[in-house]
Amino acid sequence: MRRQLPLALCFIFGVFTAIQYYVPHFRVQWFQERLLQWLMTLLAFAFLLGTVSLIKVHYHKLRDRAPDRGFSLVVFAGLFTMIGLGFIHPDHHAPGSPFNQMFLNVQVPIEATMFSLLAFYVASAAFRAFRARTLEATLLLIAAAIVMLGRVPIGDLISPKIPEATRWILEVPNLTAKRGVMIGVGLGMMATALKIMLGIERAWMGGSD
Amino acid sequence: MRSHFTIIAALAILATLAPAPAAAQEAGDLETVLPDTIPLDTTPPAPVTGLTVRDYVDNDDDGTKIELAWTPSPDDGAGAADVLAYHVWRSTTAGVVGDSVGVAGAGSATFLDETAVPGTDYHYGVTAFDGTSHSAPATAGPVRGVRNWFAVSRTAVLVLAVVFFALVLAFTQLAERGAELFVRRIPGLNAIEEAVGRATEMGRPVLYVPGIGEIDNIMTIASLTILSHVAKITARYETPLIVPTARAVVMSAAEEVVKEAYAEAGHPDSYNRDNIRYLSDAQFAFAGAVNGIMLREKPAANLYLGAFWAESLLLAETGFEAGAIQVAGTAMVSQLPFFVTACDYTLLGEELYAASAYLSREPKLLGGLKGSDWMKVVTIALVVLGIILNAVGVESFAEWFHTS
C-alpha cells in the first residue's frame, strides 16, 4: 500500500495532465488550474520542512563544534534577523520597511556579486576550452574567435564579412545542433514521463522494486 | 548691460498689454478663422473584404469567443488613407447590422469577440470608419461559439504522441520477452562509478547536486532516479554522500530516495540525514553555499545532474579549481557548453533521461530507450518529407504540424 497509493495517484494525475493538453473545455481547464494551486500550496508547506532541515544541520554543526561552525552562526544571524524584521513591520514588502531594506541592500547586492563572478569564470573556462590541442578544439577556437569578433564593432571594422560569418555560425551549425539536442531532450522527457506514469520507473520514489 | 535689461523689461510690458491671439479667436466668429473652403468628408471609405468568422478555441474554452479576420479597406494607409477604425457589429438575424461589439484600430485585420453566448448563431458585420461615415458592411455568418472538448490544432501532437507511446510500449514488451537491446556506451555514466571509487580511495565525500529545478521538473525526477543508483554505490563503498538542494520538496524526495537506496544496499545505518541539505531557494545563494561545501568539505567527486541555469558554471568552475572529478548532465541546452568546458564528463540532453535505464540495465527501462531512438528515426523522416513537400509547393503537410 505504501507504494501502490503514490503510484496510483501518479498515474491518475499524470494521465489527466497529459489529456488536458488536448481538451480546451473550460471545466477541464478549471480543474487543471486547481491542481496547480494545490501544487503551490504543497510547495509552501514543504518550505517549512526545508527551514527545519537548515536549522537542524547548522545546529548540529554548532553542537559538535565543527571547524567551520562560524558560518553556521552567520546562517542563524541572517535567518532570525530576517524572520524578526518580517514580524516587526505589518507590511514587510512596503518600500522602506526594515525587511525590504535588508533585502534590497544586503541580499540583492550579494546575489548580484555572485552573478557577476560568472564573467570571470567564463573567461577562465574559455581559456581552457580554447586551447587548440585537437582538431575539434581548434575548430571551436576558430568559431569562438569569429563569433566574439562579430559581436563587437571592431569585427565589422576589420571586415564586414565577420558579422555575417558570426550570424551564419549561430543560425546554421549552432542552431542545427541545438535543435538536434532539443528533439532528443523532448523525446527523452516524454519517455521518462510515460515510464513514471505507468510505474515502470520507480527509482524516484526510493528503491527500485 | 543695464540698457539690455531696460529693453527686455519694456518688451515684456508691451507683450502683456497686447491682445492675445487666443482672445481674438474667442471674440471673433469662428468662420473668420476657419476658411469655409474645407468641405466635410462625406465619402465613406472603401469596405473591408474577405471577412471570415470562426469559433475561437483557446486553452480555457467556454464557448464565448468568436474570431473575425478580414482584409483591410483599400483606404487604410493607402488610397484616401482616412480609415480611423473598424467597427464590429453582431446580430442573430442575417442581413441585420445589429449591435456594436467592439472597435479595432486602423491597420487591424482581426478581432476577438469574447461576449458571445455559447450555442447561439451569430451574423457579423465589419465597417471601416473614417470619422464621419461608415463603409458598407462586410458580412459573414452564421457562426456559433462551442465549448470544445478537443483542440483540433493539436491533432498532430496527439498522433505523434500515440505513435511514440506505442513504440515505447512495444520495445518494453520485447525487452521483457528477453530480446537483446543494444545501447551505445555513454562514457559519462560509466564515469559515475569511477568517480565514486576515486572519492572512496581518497576518503572524501561525494557531492551530488540535483539542480535547482522544482519537483515538477522532469529533469529533477530523472536526477532523483540517478541519485538512487549513486546512493547504492556510495552505500556499498561506505562513502559519505552530500546532496545539497535548492527546493524543500526535492530535499524531502532526495531524503527518501537515499534512505531507501542505503537500505537496499544493506547499509541502512550509514545513512546520514544531515547530508541531505536544504540550502536556499535563491539561485545564487544556493550556488554560493554549494561552492562553500566544495571548498570546506572537499568532496573528491562532484555530480551535477538535473536542471541548471546560470549557476552551472559557478559550480563547475569551483569544483574544477578544487580538483574534484566532475560529471554533469542536463537537458538545458544553454548550460551544456559550460559543463562540457568545466567537467570531466557531461551527459548531453537526452543522456540524462537514459541514465536510469543505462545504469540499472532493467529490460523494461531499456525498452523506453529503444522507443525513443526509433521515434527519432520517425521524426527525421517527417522532417525530410516536410522539406521535400515544401520544396515542391505542398505546404499543407508542414502546416498540419502547427499548433496553437
Instruction: Determine the structural domain holding residue B55 and report its residue range.
Output: 49-144
Strand, helix or coil for residue B305: strand
In the predicted structure, residue A207 carries a pLDDT above the cut 70:
no
- Position B97 scores a pLDDT of 80
Who's near A19: CB < 8 A, 6+ residues apart? A28
Distance CA B324, CA B316 (A): 10
Distance CA B401, CA B189 (A): 35
Containing B174, the helix (H) or strand (E) segment is helix B155-176
Stronger pLDDT, B177 or B24, i.e. the higher one? B177
Write the DSSP symbol of residue B134: B
- Position A133 scores a pLDDT of 80
Name the nearest CA neighbour of B265 among B245, B243, B239: B239
B78 within a domain of the structure (yes/no): yes
Is B161 in the same domain as B225?
no
Tens digit of each residue's pLDDT (9 = 90 or more) over B240-249: 999 999 999 9
B interface test, pick of A111, A190, A198, A205 with most B CB neighbours within 10 Å:
A190
Tens digit of each residue's pLDDT (9 = 90 or more) over B33-89: 555 555 667 788 999 999 999 999 887 788 899 999 999 999 888 877 889 999 999
If one counts the domains in chain B, the total is 3
Write the DSSP symbol of residue B154: G
Is B192 in the same domain as B170?
no
Q: Is B26 on the interface with A (CB under 8 A)?
A: no
Tens digit of each residue's pLDDT (9 = 90 or more) over A99-143: 999 999 999 999 999 999 999 999 998 888 888 788 888 898 899
**Domain of B117: which CATH number?**
2.60.40.10
Does residue B312 contact residue B339 with C-beta atoms inside 8 Å? Answer: yes
Is B164 in the same domain as B191?
no
Compute the count of residue pairs across chains A and B with CB atoms less than 8 Å apart: 211
- Position B348 scores a pLDDT of 92
**Domain of B314: which CATH number?**
3.40.50
Cell of residue A111, nine digits: 546575489
Answer yes or no: do A184 and B288 touch at CB < 8 A. Answer: no
| DSSP assignment string, A53-89 | HHHHHHHHHHHTT-TTHHHHHHHHHHHHHHHHHHHHS
Tens digit of each residue's pLDDT (9 = 90 or more) over A35-44: 999 988 988 8
Is B78 in the same domain as B222?
no
Distance CA B280, CA B227 (A): 20
Taking the CA atoms of B389, B394, B400 and B404 in sequence, report the sign of the dihedral they define.
positive
Cell of residue B228, nine digits: 538512487
C-alpha dihedral (B348, B349, B353, B359), degrees to nearest 10: 0
B38 within a domain of the structure (yes/no): no
- Burial of B299-327, coded b for 16+ CB within 10 Å and e otherwise, reads bbbbbbbbbbebbbbbbbbbbbebebbbb
Stronger pLDDT, B40 or B22, i.e. the higher one? B40
Distance CA B33, CA B35 (A): 6
- Position B62 scores a pLDDT of 85
ipTM: 0.90
Q: In chain A, what residues touch B164 (CB-CB under 8 Å)?
A: 187, 190-191
Containing A191, the helix (H) or strand (E) segment is helix A175-197
B225 torsion bin: left (phi>0), alpha (psi -120 to 50), beta (else): alpha
Amino acid at B397: F
Distance CA B327, CA A121 (A): 18
Name the nearest CA neighbour of B51 among B102, B108, B99, B98: B108
Q: What are phi and psi of B207, to 5 degrees?
A: -105, 125
In the predicted structure, residue B398 carries a pLDDT above the cut 70:
yes
- Position A90 scores a pLDDT of 76
B12 within a domain of the structure (yes/no): no
Is B91 in the same domain as B219?
no
B114 within a domain of the structure (yes/no): yes
Is B74 in the same domain as B130?
yes
Across A10-26, average pLDDT: 91
Name which of A54, A107, A184 is nearest B376 (Cβ-Cβ): A184
Answer yes or no: do A39 and B147 touch at CB < 8 A. Answer: no
- Position B37 scores a pLDDT of 58
Task: Return residues 31-50 of B near A (CB < 8 Å).
Answer: none
Is B296 in the same domain as B206?
yes
Is B314 in the same domain as B197?
yes
pTM assigned to the model: 0.82
In the predicted structure, residue B28 carries a pLDDT above the cut 60:
no
Is B263 in the same domain as B378?
no
Does residue B112 contact residue B67 with C-beta atoms inside 8 Å? Answer: yes
Strand order from edge to edge, sheet including B66-71: B49-55, B66-71, B110-113
Cα–Cα distances (Å) from B14 to B3, B5, B21, in that order, read 17, 14, 14
Stronger pLDDT, B320 or A92, i.e. the higher one? B320
In the predicted structure, residue B22 carries a pLDDT above the cut 50:
no
Distance CA B373, CA B351 (A): 12
Distance CA B282, CA A107 (A): 10
Name the nearest CA neighbour of A74 among A61, A87, A93: A61
Does residue B357 contact residue A192 with C-beta atoms inside 8 Å? Answer: no
Share of chain A above pLDDT 90, in %: 59
Q: In chain B, what residues touch A205 (CB-CB under 8 Å)?
A: 256-257, 260
- Burial of A45-67, coded b for 16+ CB within 10 Å and e otherwise, reads ebeeebeebbbebbeebeeeeee
- Position B79 scores a pLDDT of 78
Who's near B351: CB < 8 A, 6+ residues apart? B186, B188, B189, B329
Tens digit of each residue's pLDDT (9 = 90 or more) over A140-175: 889 999 999 999 999 999 999 999 999 999 999 999
Q: What pairs with residue B49 in β-bridges? A: B71
Strand order from edge to edge, sheet including B121-129: B99-105, B85-91, B121-129, B138-144
Tens digit of each residue's pLDDT (9 = 90 or more) over B255-273: 999 999 999 999 999 999 9
B41 within a domain of the structure (yes/no): no
- Position A1 scores a pLDDT of 67
Task: Return residues 77-136 of A near B (CB < 8 Å).
Answer: 107, 110-111, 114-115, 117-118, 121-122, 124-126, 128-129
Answer yes or no: do A110 and B285 touch at CB < 8 A. Answer: yes
Q: Is B103 on the interface with A (CB under 8 A)?
A: no
Tens digit of each residue's pLDDT (9 = 90 or more) over B126-161: 999 988 889 999 999 899 988 989 988 899 999 999
Longest CA pairwise span in chain A (Å): 71
In the predicted structure, residue B391 carries a pLDDT above the cut 70:
yes
Is B122 in the same domain as B162?
no
**In angstroms, what separates the C-alpha of A73 from chain B's closest C-alpha?**
14
Who's near A61: CB < 8 A, 6+ residues apart? A68, A69, A72
Cα–Cα distances (Å) from A115 to A123, B31, B303, in that order, read 14, 68, 22
Cell of residue B224, nine digits: 532523483
Who's near B329: CB < 8 A, 6+ residues apart? B188, B226, B304, B305, B306, B339, B346, B347, B348, B351, B352, B355
Answer yes or no: do A203 and B256 touch at CB < 8 A. Answer: no
Cα–Cα distances (Å) from B89 to A41, A47, B45, B101, in that order, read 45, 52, 17, 6
Tens digit of each residue's pLDDT (9 = 90 or more) over B180-215: 888 888 999 999 999 999 999 999 999 999 999 999
Using the 3D structure, point to which of B120, B144, B168 is the last residue of a domain: B144
Cα–Cα distances (Å) from B352 to B176, B221, B253, B360, in that order, read 23, 10, 19, 14
Q: What pairs with residue B86 in β-bridges? A: B104, B128
In the predicted structure, residue B10 carries a pLDDT above the cut 80:
no
Distance CA A177, CA B175 (A): 31
CB < 8 Å & 24+ apart, contacts of A168-176: A169/A143
Name the nearest CA neighbour of A118 among B58, B310, B85, B91: B310
Who's near B332: CB < 8 A, 6+ residues apart? B219, B307, B308, B309, B312
B305 torsion bin: left (phi>0), alpha (psi -120 to 50), beta (else): beta
**Residue of chain A with shortest Cα separation from B230:** A203
- Position B319 scores a pLDDT of 96
